[in-house]
Amino acid sequence: MKPNKERLPLNETLNALPTEWQEDPLPAIKCLLEDLSKKIVVLDDDPIGTQTIREVAVLTEYSVERLTEELSSASPAFFILTNTRSMSAAEAYSTVWEISNNLTKASIAADMDFLIVIRSDSTLRGHFYEEIQAVRDGSGKDFDGCIFAPFFLEGGRFTIEDNHYVREGEWLTPASDTEFATDSSFPFSTSHIPTYIEEKTKADISAASVNMISLSHFRLEGPEKVAQILSSLSSNDMCGVNATAMRDMELLAQAYLTVTKKRILVRTSASFIRALLGQSESQILGAEVLVNDNKMGGLIVIGSHVPRSTCQMQHLLENNHRLVPVEIDVSKLLDQKENHSEISRVRLLLTKILVSGSDAVLFTSRTLISGDSHSSNLEIGAQISSSLSELVRSLRVCPNFMVLKGGSTASRIALDGLNIKRAWAIGQAAPGVPTWQLGQEAKFPNLSLIIFPGNVGHVDSLTTLISDLQEHIRKA
């Protein structure tokens, strides 16, 4: 199909598609997983990749020893937080190369082979080609092609007739016409998957050479046809995927698990991973799981600057008057002379609020400070995230609950602020909002950490979550 630049009416478009495949693939997926002699390893470029799954470990360190231990565990899969979306292309390549190389060494030590899934953004941002190349180079293995499946149900991201869309109300907008396409770090010009791949690979892979799995393949021909397409891949072949429903992802997972004798990379959003692990939709976690009941206040940290995060933050502040707003001045964080004093000021204020039993929402000033290049923008973001991490690390009291808003913010705070080495993904606090239970080595052991993605949810979604947590605490 050719690139489509037109918005599409949501219901009319979805209703005109072929009916979903009737047979439930989950029983077959579970049987295939039981017979699978390989571990599924998910490389996650920010902490929100667990937003559709549960009961899976998340590692933030990837030494050979740590990976050997995880490969030897009983769990069929685990995540590794790479945080590459906050890195330069060179740094991302180096990080993924090291992880892949360490995985190969650990695989020999544990006598356990592995499958690699690269989990990235459903709005087409991230280091697309660099990470694929790094996995191949770092593992020292030849791969039989790569699957690209950016569909994400909870976020309203659909791929139809080879074009990728973002749901906006009752319309489907081509991803290239959204704010995500003008991301200062990962801009792109097309929503047409084959052309996008050509653009991101600088024409190393031409649009004409990209294989596409269509909705008709899923819905009229079924898993055997999809497996046949995957079996035909080789070398640098790319295979894009059309999808508008979880059943499409489940059929893709079933087909993928039947051809694991081939070594196929997968780059995907979170929905495919739920299907690959054979998990049905999770029940939303209750507030009793998400709070400590330790009489301290709760803490919400908002670093993300995407428009949806700013709108959600404004709605929260305007509609929840039990929160104490605390703004941290980004211009001071970026000034070496004022950085320390600004962090100290905010730490003292937050401590006072939390000890009093009140809930605080800490947010970076909303005036966007940009550099003059892609690398300088990444450096600015890294400095802000580092400062927020230092602030969290210096807190002396454990919040009653904790919400981190924004993937890059959450990643840096998780690693440096909370000292997380291994967490356990326990489910979702809201649709598409993952929650981790922290390990004993963390700054706040056993805390249920809620990671609210920057581009997920409606304008009132954050407000609703915080109000539910506060209401539970009030009644306790």
The CATH number of the domain holding residue 231 is 3.40.50.10840
| List of the chain residues with pLDDT < 50 | none
Residues 259 and 294 in one domain: no
Contact 119, 147 (CB under 8 A): no
Angstrom distance (rounded) from CA 311 to CA 278: 35
User: What is the C-alpha to C-alpha distance for residues 416 and 306, in angstroms, rounded to an integer?
Assistant: 23
Domain of residue 337 covers 287-475
User: What spatial distance separates the first Cα and last Cα of the chain, rounded to whole Å?
Assistant: 56
Phi-psi category of residue 124: left, alpha or beta, with phi > 0 → left and psi -120 to 50 → alpha: left
Q: Same structural domain for residues 241 and 373?
A: no
Closest CA to 57 of 450, 426, 428: 426
Quote the pLDDT of residue 184.
Answer: 79
- The average confidence (pLDDT) of the chain is 92
Q: Which of 194, 197, 196 has its CA nearest to residue 208?
A: 194
pTM (2 d.p.)? 0.91
Query: Are 113 and 177 within one domain?
Result: yes
241 with 319, same domain: the answer is no
Question: Quick one: 271 and 296 in the same domain?
Answer: no
The domain total for the chain is: 2
Final residue of a domain: which of 250, 276, 302?
276
- Residues 160, 81 share a domain: yes
Task: Tell whether 194 and 50 lie within a shared domain.
Answer: yes
Same domain, 68 and 156: yes
| All residues at 6 or more sequence positions from 376 whose CB lies less than 8 Å from its CB, including other chains | none
Asked if residue 270 and residue 409 are part of one domain, the reply reads: no
In a domain? residue 163:
yes
Task: Report the CATH number that the domain containing residue 317 is assigned in CATH.
Answer: 3.40.980.20
For 403-462, how does the pLDDT look when each residue is reduced to its tens digit (9 = 90+)? 998 777 788 898 899 999 999 999 999 998 999 999 999 999 999 999 998 778 889 999
